[in-house]
Structure 1
Amino acid sequence: MGPRGRRAGAVQSTNDSSSLSKCSLAAHGYVRDPFAALLVSGAPRRAPLIHRGYYVRAQAVRHCVHAFLERATSEESAPGRQILSLGAGFDSLYFRLKVAGHLTRAAVWEVDFPDVAERKAARIRGTPELAGLAGPPLSEVESGPNSALRFASQDYRLLGSDLRDLPALRDALEATGLDSAAPTLLLAEAVLTYLEANNAAALLAWASGYFANALFVLYEQIGPHDPFGRVMLQHFQRLNSPLHGLASFPDVAAQRRRFLDAGWQACSAVDMNEFYRGFLSAEERRRVEMLELFDEFEEWHLKCSLLFHSGSFHRVHCWPDPNSVASLLGRCFHWGVWGTGGACGARNLSGDGRLFHTMTSFSETLVLVLGGRLSPVTPALGMYWLSCPIPAGKDADNLKVTIREVGPEAEFPSPRWRHSAAKVLCQRQKYLFVYGGRNGKDPVLGDWHFLHMDTMTWVSLPVEGPEPDARHSHSACSWKEGALIVGGLSVSEEPLGSVYFLKPVSNGFSWERLEVQPPITPRYSHTAHVFDGKLLLVGGVWIHSSSVPGVTVIDLTTRLSSEYHIDTAYVPWPLMLHNHTSILLPEEQQLLILGGGGNCFSFGTHFNPHPVTLDISSLRSKQ
């Protein structure tokens, strides 16, 4: 088998994986599809992240198909309609439409590689429920040893044909009764991108010229140039299924031009974040979000987003890989990282493997680890001291880190993760302010707690003013003896763009919302620091902008904001700025970024391999 044949085999294997995912999707209540399990063998459980990805994909396709067919039933004099599904695989579209009564004046043609079509036809013939629903075979439709036809009934044709061979495809469609003059919906669900660019262009141009009245529905990956897109490209390359279309059509504008250049009269497009928010009701979104415990928000939104990359931000430097965790911690302690204040959203502490906890410095050598989770259903209980005495001569090779549990008298009263922690002052007493987050029961939390840092006891302090919306995955940092709370995800999983100040008052604290101009783009999973009277928001995830989050600077005196992009020319690419930790080094006038990235089961895994520093010296006010 040559390279072309091997690539075709790899592309065909994506059908098997996709079919199993759709089967799992239906089994867990995301969609109604009793036929998915009849078309495949076995039903492995997929991860919630995969379920969500396939759910929004399925809903987008169904929205277009149903809108197309509704016109056929509402217009009595309109001719019968046709659906031509290209690269259909083992999808159950025909059977779902048939049982719902949508094919009284319509028919479905499906095309895929001959081997895939033959296996699907055998499955239909061997499954009484499917064969009975399809109805008796048509004897008048041309078939034979050289025919592409694999299965035919009154309203269904299944063809085995290579989409790269357009003359053979046209002949096969015409031989099985497709009418080029009838209203036709062409569906290509993650198909054209696997074709070489010239083959895909030829297919679009042929369809535009062949059909007199047609609608082409395309579901395809975009955004190859941002960090998440780069990981996606590498993932499919490793599977020997390269995404050919991405280089030429990387964004919505390019996709529009692609169709217009091929002769189509109009084209509109949305990314899946837009579809999920704009086309599905709040009630339906809430139903889906309650089906399973879910905690992969960053990968979910990135997977659905249209992303671009551009611009620059000062100078960027990259360190080589540290030889060990000890040497990395040695660098941190050498610069007094734990003594710079604030909460660091570090992950994967070796104590018990917790995620999404906070780490707050109590001294140059002592850090408090609070909250986090062991799994989406298991909160991490207990608090830990992370102790790292600075060795003589500040020799990183002799650095020793010890972990010990905080006594039961300081047990956190409300376990959570994706929360924030910041040091505040009230009547000259130091407190750790813990706010927001989520747990296995509540998708978001809006409460707060105060830990007296000298006695390590939880206390109640009065807090006045209108409370912020409940949130998780936000940022918090200390400022003027209070705390700044920025962004996060709301109960509806919508990124927030608000900035709140927990302001010290005579007998406690008061909430104050800071009005920023221009308003910042809503975001979450970012980090924050105050430097020289300016609030710095580093990275994160957003869905309301086509660019990649860099660094947002808010002047806390004027309340004016500016967006800066990061020039990554001098760091290993891709650089993912979510699920990271950033540490302010005020004397060096730098930000140190550690970690970042994540595990997306559909597109691959990436974690930033190197610490990175950002030079922020130009942000210091001139004296």
Structure 2
Amino acid sequence: MAARKGNTNAVRGTNDSSTLSKCSMSQHGYFKDHFLKYFAAKIVRRAPLIHRGYYIRTKAIDWILQSFLCHFSDVTAQVVSLGAGYDSSCFRLLSEGAKSTFIEIDFPQTVHNKSSIIKSTPELHRLLQDPVFDEGSATVPLRSKQYSLVGVDLCNVGFLEQTLSSLISFSQPTLLLSECVMTYMDVKDSQRLIEWVCKEFDNSIFVTYEQVHPNDGFGLVMQEHFRTLGSPLKAVNTFPTLQSQEERYLCAGYGVVDARDMNSAYQQLLSDSERQRIENMELFDEFPEWHLKCAHYTLVLASKGDCSPLHKKVTQEVPLITCGVCQEGTFKLSPVAMENCDPSLSRYGHASVVLTGDTMLLIGGYGPEHGKHSRLGNCLLLHYNRAGRWVTSKLDIIDAAILPAMMHHTATKTSDGRVIIFGGRQSPKSASNVCYQLTNFMDNLDSSNVGAHQSHNKWKIEVVKAKGQLPLPRYKHSAVNVQAMDGTELIIIFGGRTNTGVALDNCSVFSINSNTWEEVVFDGEMPTARFSHSCFTWKNSVYIIGGLGSDFIPLNSIYKLSIETDTRIVSKQLKLFDFPYQYASPAVCHGDVAYLIGGICCQGDGTTGVVTIHLSTMTWSQCGVPADHRVILANHTAHYWRDNNIVTLGGGGNCFSFGTHYNSVYSLQLT
């Protein structure tokens, strides 16, 4: 490892944290490596999102390690780990019969600590042939026939070369691994290291795992996290994309280079059965955060000499996903003027409706309350007052305790002013099918006075006692109000997830007039099971777009549901050429145009910008949203407001191990 004195301890701290996370991931059965526990200071349980992140990191690196060792099984190949920390891969590989030479390099203090652990752990040191433990050595405290530990500053390539010359051959096939290491080095030092490796190792493959896309919402949160730890990411702004990472190694002299993000790795490296095993490991519901994390880490392979055929072979066997997000222009996203707003306005996974032109209602979700982060059971009014500012007030609800703290439910306003709340969940194992209605005692909401006069906020909540068969419990479904062709006012519920995480493909209809539920089987082409899809209404029809399918892969299919009566719905799949695969994009329909605002995909930086669909011609375009603000357009809601503006409410998420982020309220200018 390498770092200046000011952040050496902080960088070493990232090794300790990473070791605990890897160990937790292994202990929970994601990846078998029982040697990790010897290097972990303690056994802790990490969250499923952390487990997944470290699983795909470990799996991707193991894929290229195993490919390298297999390809060069007949010769003495070498694996040199730059900044190895407490990684245990070499012991796992040695226990599996690997014949290569392993060299691990890190801070002198780290390698001395690791040497002591190995010496005091019989299961580790008995894997080594003729080990020599030299606690007095400043640079090589452990040397054996197949494995050595080296304590050298990676910035000092001259001393590094001198130390390695007695341990390895620079002409033998060599895999050099930098796993979240060079990102902490000054760029000039890391570039000098790459150029030195390319020059000195005749037959080598350089494998790098580190961060990309630093300047979108997730990337800004990621950067701030490492700055706060005292270990800032020093290379990510110089090499911010997969393309710039590839150019970095090409300019250093490597002949074959490719970079893939972890979304590509998860889809391309794993078999269908292995992906299914991972999906079944723990009930998981943080897909936007998962795909964003994967989009912000890359595995770069750069090769020369005898290693280039191996590189080309593995790339052919596991091809890169090369399609990207094609964006035409940008929309302007600006924070709105706020005044004395309730902290719980910052939330995600909520539902919202427009009550009047300038008054919106947010219900539930996840956010700050009483000094901690938790699911919310409150309802918050957001109003645009005469002074041109947005203000909030808590909804004054009779029997408010009836509404539980929950997230990923839906809220739909009816023509008579009621708000129908359906579904949602507390934990992923506790989906709901309870239907609530909010009724306002005051029909004449005046957004300039709401908040000033609490009588305007007087609402009643009650469980809807409807006839018919209730829909299955679900969350992350869609619910829209539509007038059928026969004039009946209906709420159409489609898709979602169940308690067991299964994606649903059924549709339930709630008749506003008769207070009746009816499960409806479509005539025509049945939409496939999905959740977190987009949904909107236009001319007596409901449109269902994208979402995550039953295999948890983003969809790009579009279905038009023609609502004839409360029992007859005709479904037709629409074909839009090269339409993006995406999910978690709230839809806003204004006039003859629908807008899908933000959301998640599995290409580029993981975000989708704004997709515009012209409904009269069924053509579409996609625009970016400039990353001028720390905004993560996921788990949010959106509504058309006025003057070609769309207001986005809340959103954000748990940004891996970097902390929880909440958006505020933003205005998206459509012109």
Say whether the fold is shared (TM-score over 0.5): yes
Cα displacement string for residues 541-599 of structure 1 (whole angstroms, at most 9, x for unaligned residues): 01135684222111112111111223465xxx1222111110123x5432111112111
One-letter identity of the residue aligned with 2:108? P
Alignment match of 2:427 (pick from 365, 369, 375) = 375
In structure 2, the CA distance between the partners of 1:282 and 1:144, relative to structure 1 (3 Å rule), is: closer
Distance 1:482 1:400 in 2: 33
2:149 is equivalent to residue 95 of structure 1: no
Distance 1:598 1:132 in 2: 46
CA contact (8 A) 1:474 1:489 kept: yes
> What is the CA–CA distance in structure 1 between the aligned matches of 2:610 and 2:187, rounded to whole Å?
36
Within the candidate set 581, 588, 613, 1:522 is matched to 581
How many residue pairs match? The answer is 596
Shift of 1:308: 8.8
| SS of residue in 2 equivalent to 1:473 | coil
The alpha-carbon distance between structure 1 residues 84 and 373, as it changes in their structure 2 partners (threshold 3 A), is: same
Check whether the contact 1:419–1:473 (CA below 8 A) recurs between aligned residues: yes
- Distance change (3 Å), C-alpha of 1:326 and 1:31: closer
Deviations 1:431-475 (A, max 9, x none): 211110102214311111111212332124452112111000001
| Contact in 2 for aligned 1:249/1:255 (Cα 8 Å) | yes
Please show how residues 62-101 of structure 1 align to structure 2 within 5 Å: 62-73=62-73, 76=74, 79-101=75-97
Aligned letter for 2:247? Answer: R
Q: 1:566 to 1:528 in 2, by over 3 A?
A: same
- Residue 555 of structure 1 corresponds to 614
The answer on 1:597 being equivalent to 2:652 is yes
Cα 1:96/1:403, change in 2 over 3 Å:
farther
Alignment of 1:477-492 (within 5 A): 477-492=536-551
- SS of match in other structure, 1:247: coil
Aligned partners of 1:386 and 1:401 also within 8 Å: no
Is the deviation greater in 229-238 or in 546-555? 546-555
Q: Distance in 2 between matches of 1:364 and 1:126?
A: 75
Counterpart-to-counterpart distance in 2, 1:25 and 1:537: 36
Query: Which residue number corresponds to residue 406 of structure 2?
Result: 354
User: Which amino acid counterpart does residue 163 of structure 1 have in structure 2?
Assistant: L
Q: Map of 1:99-138 to 2, 5 A cutoff?
A: 99-103=95-99, 106-138=100-132
Classify 1:364/1:223 alpha carbon distance in 2 versus 1 (closer, same or farther; 3 Å).
farther
Confirm whether residue 269 of structure 1 aligns to residue 259 of structure 2: yes
In the alignment, the residues of structure 2 paired with residue 72 and residue 244 of structure 1 have an alpha-carbon distance, to the nearest angstrom, of 34
**Aligned residue number for residue 612 of structure 1:** 666
Structure that is richer in strand per residue: 2
> Which of 284, 307, 315 is matched with 2:274 structurally?
284
Question: 1:621 maps to which residue?
Answer: none
Alignment of 1:430-579 (within 5 A): 430-505=489-564, 508-516=568-576, 518-545=577-604, 548-567=607-626, 573-579=629-635
**C-alpha offsets along residues 198-231 of structure 1, whole Å, 9 cap, x if unaligned?**
1101111111122121111110111112221111
SS of the residue 2:197 aligns to: helix
Confirm or deny: 8 A CA contact 1:359 1:367 kept in the other structure: yes
Asked if the contact 2:171–2:203 (Cα under 8 Å) also holds between the matched residues in 1, the reply is yes
Residue of structure 2 in register with 1:172 after alignment: 163
* Distance in 2, Cα, partners of 1:265 & 1:163: 23
Partner of 1:583: 639
C-alpha distance in structure 2 between counterparts of 1:318 and 1:88, whole Å: 43
Distance 2:118 2:490 in 1: 67
Distance of 1:391 and 1:424 partners within structure 2: 24
The alpha-carbon distance between structure 1 residues 392 and 147, as it changes in their structure 2 partners (threshold 3 A), is: closer
Does the residue aligned with 1:378 lie in a helix, a strand or coil?
Answer: coil
Q: Which residue matches 1:418?
A: 476
Of 15-24 and 315-324, more deviation after overlay is shown by 315-324
Q: CA 1:581/1:186 → structure 2, altered by over 3 Å: closer, same or farther?
A: same
Per-residue CA deviation, residues 61-99 of structure 1 (Å, 9 max, x unaligned), is: 0111111111222xx4xx311100011111111111111
Report which stretch shifted further, 417-426 or 86-95. Answer: 417-426
CA contact (8 A) 2:585 2:600 kept: yes
| Deviation sequence 1:30-85 (CA, Å, 0-9, x none) | 11111111222321111111111111111110111111111222xx4xx3111000
1:423 deviation in Å? 1.7
The CA distance in 1 between the partners of 2:480 and 2:541, in whole Å, is 8
Tell me the distance in 2 between the aligned counterparts of 1:305 and 1:345: 29
Contact 1:522 1:544 in 2 (8 A): no
Most deviating of 388-397 and 470-479: 388-397
Cα deviation, residue 535, structure 1: 1.9
Shift of 1:167: 2.2
Structure 2 SS opposite 1:285: helix
Find the aligned partners of 1:264 and 1:477 in 2 and give their Cα distance: 50
When the two chains are superposed, the root-mean-square deviation of aligned CA atoms in Å is: 2.8
Q: CA deviation at 1:310?
A: 7.7
- Conserved 8 A contact 2:213-2:605: no
Structure 1 residues 300 and 315, CA, compared in 2 at 3 Å: closer, same or farther?
A: closer
Deviations 1:266-311 (A, max 9, x none): 2111111111111211111111111001001001111111599987
Shift of the 169–300 alpha-carbon distance from structure 1 to 2, 3 Å rule, reads same
- What is the rounded CA distance, in whole Å, between the counterparts of 1:423 and 1:330 in structure 2? 14
Instruction: Give 1:144 shift.
Output: 7.0
Q: Is the 8 A contact 1:519 1:561 kept in 2?
A: no
Determine if the alignment matches structure 1 residue 13 to structure 2 residue 16.
no
Q: What displacement does 1:149 show?
A: 1.0
Letter of the structure 1 residue corresponding to residue 631 of structure 2: L
| Offset, 1:614 | 2.4
Distance in 1 (alpha carbons) for counterparts of 2:177 and 2:56: 16
List alignment gaps of at least 5 residues for structure 1.
Answer: 619-623
The one-letter code matched in structure 2 to 1:80 is: T
| In structure 2, distance between residues paired with 1:95 and 1:219 | 20
Greater CA drift, 372-381 or 291-300: 372-381
Deviations 1:222-250 (A, max 9, x none): 11122211111111111111010111111
Contact 2:413 2:481 in 1 (8 A): no
